[in-house]
Structure 1
């Protein structure tokens, strides 16, 4: 199948080199039950994953199925055309999207915006997002939104300022019934300054044993998509100087 690169809104050439790199870059809808071991989740459903990607904020259309990928496979990010590739997953009650459009350097909050939209669509789900972008320094954005309304959003430069936390992380911990030893095991201490807390690790506890992101055998599907004009504008400002 011919490689599709015409996505209308880009002003940068498809072979233009991307600045920076992505670490974690995913947003997950976790529907009950919340105690399933990740390796016991149903196998990947590519059709449902495609539908989820196509219905997600910032994506206008899914153009091409690029085949299965392990969840440990990072998004491609060498040239501009790579930024049209997302990974999507549908493992039973867990849906997830890995997208370069979630990354930010602090000028906007794409992960929070997408999480807000998913919260409206899936009010009984845990919405969990973890994103890291490295462009000289690392910028992170993490969000947890629970069915009872408890949430936190943390965004900024680890070990630097500014770093902004909204919502109530303590309420999230109470809602999840997390014990002190669980927080200790992942190195989370809310008494530390906000820019020194490992927010992504706290977000991971919201997925619990169902967290799929460390298992090579867990598969997602790669898709080439047409991002929205706003998403493209934000990515051009982030990935190109």
Structure 2
């Protein structure tokens, strides 16, 4: 059964908008590890993790290794069937175009809810940006002690909704003022102007793999669920 199962748009239809960050990471203890000291990519575990995440029904093809700095393809509809999976020891991650949104739903939060149940001792960190004339972002941190924040909306515009308690996340991580100052995070700003993705990055700290060219993921062609496809068609083509 092919990836075409749920799509109504033609495979070569041009995608509207583009993606920036689009990933969800599960980071289990120990947390004090440098990204470059994480074990090398385990493609088999990455595939299993990808197939287990909300929105993906099956991995159809292994497309080979990619640097974490290689963006997800997003030119035509068939590109939206490509996800990047990673398994670096105690860190698992998935980059999936199905996580992008424009405010009509919150796919990242839905996927994080499921992962919270599966990995109760993990830090769960999600960062997504969709560029469609303006930038819509969805960022999330959910810690083992329950501290969390979820921030979603149009950057610099309304509506923009923050749930949870960012201050509790900062306290739980024992982030010093200079740390979020250096990251350019100022919670005194309007919610739609706060750099939430940078605050999410601080939850991974020196373990954050996404800035290192040498860190490898694996690209997979996948079949998304009917709900994920419906949401992507509404976002990327309508």
TM-score by length of 1: 0.98
1:126 aligns with 2:123: yes
The corresponding residue for 2:107 is 110
**Aligned with 1:178: secondary structure?**
coil
Deviation, 1:5, is 5.8
Q: How does 1:77-226 map to 2 (within 5 A)?
A: 77-226=74-223
Question: 57, 61, 64: which is aligned to 1:60?
Answer: 57
1:239 and 2:230 are equivalent in the alignment: no
Give how far 1:6 is off.
3.9
Does the 8 A contact of 1:105 with 1:238 survive in 2?
yes
> Partners of 1:5 and 1:60 in 2: how far apart?
11
Match status 1:69 vs 2:61: no
- Contact 1:23/1:134 (8 A) holds in 2: yes
CA RMSD for the aligned pairs?
0.9
Is residue 10 from structure 1 mapped to residue 7 from structure 2 by the alignment?
yes
**SS of structure 1 residue aligned to 2:102:** coil
Residues 99-128 of structure 1: CA deviation (Å, up to 9, x unaligned): 000000000000000001000000000000
Give SS of 2:9's match. Answer: coil
Moved over 3 A (4+): none
**Whole-Å separation in 2 of the counterparts to 1:127 and 1:12:** 33
Segments of structure 2 that go 5 or more residues without pairing to the other structure are none
Residue matched to 1:50: 47
Unaligned runs of 5+ in 1: none
Normalized against structure 2, the TM-score is what? 0.99
- Residues 82 and 221 in structure 2, CA contact (< 8 A), matched pair in contact too: yes
CA contact (8 A) 1:44 1:90 kept: yes
Q: CA deviation at 1:222?
A: 0.1
CA distance in 2, matches of 1:30, 1:193: 29
In structure 1, the residue corresponding to 2:32 is in which secondary structure? coil
Q: How many residues align?
A: 238
Does the residue aligned with 1:117 lie in a helix, a strand or coil? helix
